[in-house]
Structure formats: C-alpha cells, structure tokens
Amino acid sequence: MLVLVAPGQGAQTPGFLTPWLDLPGVEDRLRALSMAIDLDLVHYGTNADADEIRDTAIAQPLLVAAGLVSAAALGDVTPGAVAGHSVGEITAAVFAGVLDDTAALGLVRRRGLAMADAAAITETGMSALLGGDPDVSVAHLEKLGLTPANINGAGQIVAAGTLEQLAALNEDKPEGVRKVVPLKVAGAFHTRHMAPAVESLAKAAAELNPADPTVRYVSNKDGQAVSAGAEILDRLVGQVANPVRWDLCMETFKELGVTAIVEVSPGGTLVGLAKRALPGVKTLALKTPDDLDAARELIAEHGVA
C-alpha cells in the first residue's frame, strides 16, 4: 500500500522550486496561485534567500504550493492513505479531496500570517533532539519549561519554547541525546505560544466548505484516520497550538499495511524518519523532477489502481 506524505516547515531551501518550473504548466499554475493569495510564489521558490523563506508567512504557502505542483507532476495517483507533517497537513487535505487548491492556499496564507504574528509576541524557536529515550527526553524538556512540539518517532523529538529555554537545552541535553539541532523556523509552533493564531485560523476555516476525504486521511493529532471533512478542518485549526504526533501517524501507516511512501517536494525529512521507523518500507523523496520516473515506478508497484 502506498502512502503519500507532505513535509512541514523547515524543509524549504533557497531555489528548491527552480527545476520544477521547467515542467509544462507549473509556472502558470504557481502564478495563478500567487495571484489568489497575493504572494509571489515563483520569486520565493527560486530567487529568495534563506532568511526570506524562513519567514513563516512565506514558508507555509510556499511549501503547500510546492507539494501540490510536485504531486500533480506524478500524474493520476490514488494512494491508500495521505498525511502531512504540520503545515503539510493542508497539502494532504488537497490530496484527499477535502480542499481544492485555492481553498488550501487561502487557508495556509491565513495560517502563516497568524502564526507569524503569534511568533512575534515572544522570541521563540524549535530544536530537534537526536537520539535518546523519548520518555526521558520529554520529562527533561518539561523540567526546562519546553514543549515536545513534534514527537516524530525514529528517535527524534522537536522541542519548542523561548530562545532562553532552548539555550538552556543546548547546555543541558537529556541523557542519551546525541545532538540538539536548531531548526530553520521562526517560532515555537504547536505550543501555547501559537494560541493567538487559533482564533484567526478558525475564522478562515469557517469560510470554507470541506468535502469528506476520498482516501484515508491520517491526522497529526493522534495518528487516527479521519473520515469527515469538517472534522479534518477542525483538527487543522487546533493543531496549530498542539503537538504533532508523527510517531503515531507512522504507527497507523504500519497498521494499514504500508509498503511504500512517497514524499512530495521538498521531500527528504519524512522519508528519513520512515527509513528508521518503518524498516522494509520502500521510500522515495521528490526533490527535483529527476525523481519523477522512479516515483512513478514505485507508485505503479505499490499504489491503488
């Protein structure tokens, strides 16, 4: 069974969309989406520097747009399940037929702006912990006043909080943790620091008419497959201020009988986690159009007809 997944914030790198513009129709689609949300996705995906695309209000729409155009380049794909990490959940909602492109980009534009405003209230950030025992690490983070904002499985937890708290973590790592890696994000996402963004996103979501998913949609909240479009939209709103449980999503993939995972552009992060947590499952990350042929072969072997 094939699972199609979409990465979250921090996966973007300068110029990562450049090779995708060589595909027929991609630039036109990106420019149309840019017009719809008043944000030049082509510029930010090709010419902008790392600091520019680190901005939450830019990074989030850019990631969703990249996921949509790279998935479309695969052709007609019917996976057994879809999921996204953090903002990638909105990309996955399009894959599942819950939202259309325009609705998804409008929602993620509002999400990015609201989360950027929330992040501006207090200087906050996120760092990945590599290695260690999850229970030990979570207890240590809580002692430091940090939140385990992403529990990603495969030995990775992402801590979030104030810059002072993260500095303390760097000096006082949990037992067994090999390394603490600062992430290229502009705030403590999926924590209480994002509570101001929830109300704004709820207002944006109230303007939408979600459809029920046409394929299994696996939620970050608890790793469960959600069958109602309205509930998926509610979860997208609440998830802004709640931890991402990617570990539970991967457990669900395993229970469903996953045999292959394809991660849309800018792929790599989620495939890396799957390689460690789901041994034996074939994986492929769409980094550039050069990966499309291999992805199509994998889909033909493991996808749903």
Contact by Cβ (8 Å): 9, 90: no
Q: How far is the C-alpha of 100 from the C-alpha of 93, rounded, in Å?
A: 8
Residue of 140, 190, 193, 302 with catalytic role: 190
Nearest to 240 by CA among 201, 274, 183: 201
Terminal Cα distance for the chain, rounded = 11
Active site (annotated) includes residue 190:
yes
Q: How far is CA 6 from CA 165, 202, 219, 277, 293, in A?
A: 29, 22, 12, 17, 19
Residue with tokens 């970050």: 220
CA distance 52 to 14: 9
Q: Select which of 86, 137, 200, 265 is catalytic.
A: 86
43 classed as catalytic: no
305 three-state secondary structure: coil
In the sheet that holds 81-84, the strands lie side by side as 225-226, 216-218, 81-84, 2-6, 260-263, 282-285
- Residue 3 to residue 282: CA distance in whole angstroms: 10
Encoded tokens for 13: 């790198």
∠ Cα 182 184 189 (to 5°): 90
Q: Could you tell me how many helices (H) and strands (E) the chain has, helices first?
A: 13, 10
Kind of pairing, strands 2-6 and 260-263? parallel
- DSSP E strands: which ranges in 117-276? 124-131, 147-153, 156-162, 177-182, 216-218, 225-226, 260-263
Catalytically active residues are 86, 190
